[in-house]
């Protein structure tokens, strides 16, 4: 398959707008209706949409949720290899996220910043054709480390109401309290507003399709969200030392997710560009998901230098950035905008998706310019505390009242001055 090639400046102009997360007007309107109806009608609307889109809703007297004994049974029933892999991933994810320490902050003169977890988190894990136990670990483990009292998870069920055993087993390892058998925009709306059978949460986190993404945007304000995700992205910055077949494999690995995905090689070596294109074309024809890979967006950007290549990456702000170079560390030091960085030929994004430890739920569509990966802090909030005595009031009151009057807020000034007068 031919891969588009661009010079660095031409690429910057072509890649400036990534609005895939916005969906179509038809999709946006459908999600608005779903969220509005679930908020207003609760359980009745949730059941209607669950039957329409998931093909299942609980029978009379049956719950949406699977409880901890159900999760534990799934874990016990896993094969030894699968359980061992999940346990290793869980240990590494837990160890990395435990390093994300957040403590109360004490300022001068009785000032303090309190850091507290949300009470209840609702995690979304995609389901349907394939299970994503890795996403269970990546979302639930940070929530537990943050101290969230109740961790709930939603995932689309099969048409008989069952949930894939790997998802339930991972939920057991990550200490999820309950798994709710519901998917799509209606699941996000149920978590955001609550229904008779689904409790309202404080934060909704986790990846999903365009309908899940639009629903998170729609309910934000009624509930916190971790971010608004677009299609997955990988950018590889590489010099002539990079193994071309490694780079081609990594580009293809992310493209198999979604025909809207991005895979970009940025290099100052025309020889590497030629070799990667040849290797990628050969590989793409042999992949199980070849049609998806061929439909996605793959291109090569030729930069004048390694430094310019990093500037291209900073402008793009990729979800995943690989740096494969003879001397990578100076390039790593120049990275400003990326969801996650993978350094060297033996650190593919695929390894990070499952096992390295940092989170795989990352900012996309250029939002790495201002946002961060999902982590412990996703489930924490901060509250300031101020203690002011009579002496502090005397020192601050006159200036504060002056500022209040500058803004025309005389009642604000009075609330200060009445104390000063006393």
Look at the domain 58-225 and name its fold.
Rossmann fold (3.40.50)
Q: Which residue has the tokens 């802090």?
A: 377
User: Both tokens of residue 167?
Assistant: 């998802």
Q: Which residue has the tokens 């070596």?
A: 269
Same CATH fold assignment for domains 4-18+230-356 and 58-225: yes
Residues ≥6 apart with Cβ < 8 Å to 143: 121, 123, 151, 205, 378, 379
User: Both tokens of residue 269?
Assistant: 């070596």
pLDDT tens, N- to C-terminus, the chain (422 residues): 568 888 888 887 777 666 655 788 999 999 999 999 999 999 999 999 999 999 999 998 899 999 999 999 999 999 999 999 999 999 999 999 999 988 999 998 899 999 999 999 999 999 877 899 999 999 999 999 999 999 999 999 999 999 999 999 999 999 999 999 999 999 999 999 999 999 999 999 999 989 999 999 999 999 999 988 888 899 999 999 999 999 999 999 998 888 888 999 999 999 999 999 999 999 988 988 888 888 788 999 999 999 999 999 999 999 999 999 999 999 999 999 999 999 999 999 999 999 999 999 999 999 999 999 999 999 999 999 999 999 999 999 999 999 999 999 999 999 999 998 77
CATH H-level superfamily of 4-18+230-356: Nitrogenase molybdenum iron protein domain (3.40.50.1980)
- 3-state SS assignment for residue 340: strand
Catalytic residues: 319-320
Its pTM stands at 0.94
User: Cα–Cα distance between 345 and 242 in angstroms, integer?
Assistant: 7
> In the chain, what are the domain boundaries?
4-18+230-356, 58-225, 390-421
- 3-state SS assignment for residue 236: strand
Q: What is the CA radius of gyration of the chain?
A: 25
User: Cα–Cα distance between 189 and 46 in angstroms, integer?
Assistant: 9
């Amino acid at each position: 398959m031919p891969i588009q090639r661009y010079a660095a400046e031409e690429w910057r102009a072509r890649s400036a707008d990534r609005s895939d997360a916005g969906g179509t007007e038809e999709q946006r309107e459908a999600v608005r209706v779903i969220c509005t109806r679930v908020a207003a009608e609760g359980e009745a609307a949730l059941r209607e949409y669950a039957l329409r889109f998931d093909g299942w809703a609980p029978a009379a007297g049956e719950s949406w949720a699977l409880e901890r004994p159900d999760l534990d049974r799934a874990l016990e029933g896993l094969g030894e290899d699968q359980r061992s892999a999940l346990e290793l991933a869980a240990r590494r994810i837990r160890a990395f996220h435990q390093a994300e320490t957040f403590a109360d902050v004490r300022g001068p003169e009785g000032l303090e910043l309190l850091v507290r977890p949300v009470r209840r988190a609702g995690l979304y894990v995609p389901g349907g054709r394939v299970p994503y136990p890795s996403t269970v670990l990546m979302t639930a483990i940070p929530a537990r480390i943050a101290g969230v009292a109740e961790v709930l998870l939603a995932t689309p069920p099969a048409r008989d109401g069952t949930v894939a055993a790997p998802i339930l087993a991972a939920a057991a390892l990550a200490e999820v309290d309950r798994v709710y058998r519901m998917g799509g925009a209606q699941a996000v709306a149920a978590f955001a507003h609550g229904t008779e059978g689904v409790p309202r949460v404080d934060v909704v986190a986790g990846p999903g399709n365009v309908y899940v993404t639009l629903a998170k945007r729609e309910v934000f304000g009624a509930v916190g969200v971790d971010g608004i995700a677009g299609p997955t992205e990988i950018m590889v910055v590489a010099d002539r030392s990079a193994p071309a077949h490694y780079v081609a494999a990594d580009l293809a690995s992310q493209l198999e997710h979604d025909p809207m995905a991005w895979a970009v090689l940025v290099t100052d070596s025309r020889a590497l560009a030629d070799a990667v294109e040849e290797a990628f074309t050969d590989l793409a024809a042999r992949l199980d998901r070849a049609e998806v890979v061929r439909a996605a967006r793959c291109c090569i950007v030729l930069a004048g230098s390694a430094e310019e290549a990093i500037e291209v990456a900073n402008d793009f702000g990729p979800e995943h950035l690989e740096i494969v170079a003879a001397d990578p560390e100076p390039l790593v030091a120049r990275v400003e905008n990326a969801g996650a960085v993978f350094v060297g030929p033996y650190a593919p994004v695929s390894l990070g998706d499952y096992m390295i430890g940092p989170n795989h739920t990352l900012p996309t569509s250029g939002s790495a310019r201002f946002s961060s990966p999902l982590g412990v802090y996703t489930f924490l909030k901060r509250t300031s505390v101020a203690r002011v005595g009579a002496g502090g009031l005397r020192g601050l009151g006159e200036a504060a009242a002056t500022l209040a009057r500058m803004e025309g807020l005389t009642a604000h000034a009075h609330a200060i001055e009445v104390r000063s007068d006393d």
